[in-house]
A and B are shown apart, each in its own frame.
Chain A
Amino acid sequence: GIQVEQSPPDLILQEGANSTLRCNFSDSVNNLQWFHQNPWGQLINLFYIPSGTKQNGRLSATTVATERYSLLYISSSQTTDSGVYFCAVRTGNTPLVFGKGTRLSVIA
């Protein structure tokens, strides 16, 4: 099946810093989503982005489908951005497959 690799596995930032999270996948995809899991465990859908670029406030995402990667940008990070960020992809008619996530800690 499709493989999903996220990097880095852990990231510590000072409040106000910018960061880039990466998601590599091993096959062509028809669906790619980014999720944020907050410290209380809640999973929130951030972006549906199988290709192209989207922005939502301080967060933006870019997927280059032909090169099989996606990037999540967080600008001017805040402590509320802490948590785990997951990338999930789908190929063909199979269910979504999740990466292992990037754990982000933003320190005041």
Chain B
Amino acid sequence: NAGVTQTPKFRILKIGQSMTLQCTQDMNHNYMYWYRQDPGMGLKLIYYSVGAGITDKGEVPNGYNVSRSTTEDFPLRLELAAPSQTSVYFCASSYMWGAGEKLFFGSGTQLSVL
């Protein structure tokens, strides 16, 4: 089992460019999440999905879009990148929701917008 795999690990974007952060998991988890981590802060939820075809906004969704066409994949799209989106992005998955849920994280994508 590879677990949760994120690509790329590092990326530098120019202001106004777009990109997609890839996330895939091989644990057959229904629930997937995108978080961002800014220096000295905890993780803030961007978007989450409770299954293929279903997504919902988290705490900080502005400037991002997601899709969930398969159980395995949950890509995060940045449109018109801004310096405020410089952060480390983590994808996570879990096999259940609520009590008993345990999160499994990918290794992160460090994104700089210059």
Contact = CB atoms under 8 A, between A and B. Distances in A.
Interface in B82-114: 88, 90, 92, 97-105, 107-108, 110
Contacts of B43: 86, 88, 98
Interface in A61-106: 86, 88, 90, 93, 95-101
Contact of A86 (B42, B98, B99, B110): B42
The main secondary structure of chain A at its interface with chain B is strand
Query: Contact size class for B?
Result: 20 to 34
A100 B42 contact: yes
B53 interface: no
A45 B102 contact: yes
A18 interface: no
Contacts, number: 56
B99 A41 contact: no
Nearest to A98: B42
Interface in B3-18: none
A99 B42 contact: yes
B41 interface: yes
Contact of B42 (A33, A48, A93, A101): A101
Contacts of A35: 103, 105
B74 interface: no
Q: Which of A30, A90, A95 has most B Cβ within 10 Å?
A: A95
29 contacts: A30-B98, A31-B98, A33-B102, A33-B103, A35-B103, A41-B107, A41-B108, A42-B107, A44-B105, A45-B102, A45-B105, A48-B101, A48-B102, A50-B99, A86-B42, A86-B43, A88-B43, A88-B103, A90-B98, A95-B45, A96-B45, A96-B101, A97-B45, A98-B43, A98-B44, A99-B42, A100-B41, A100-B42, A101-B42
A-B pairs with lowest CB-CB distance, top 4: A98-B42, A43-B105, A30-B99, A98-B43
Interface of A: 4, 30-31, 33, 35, 41-45, 48, 50, 86, 88, 90, 93, 95-101
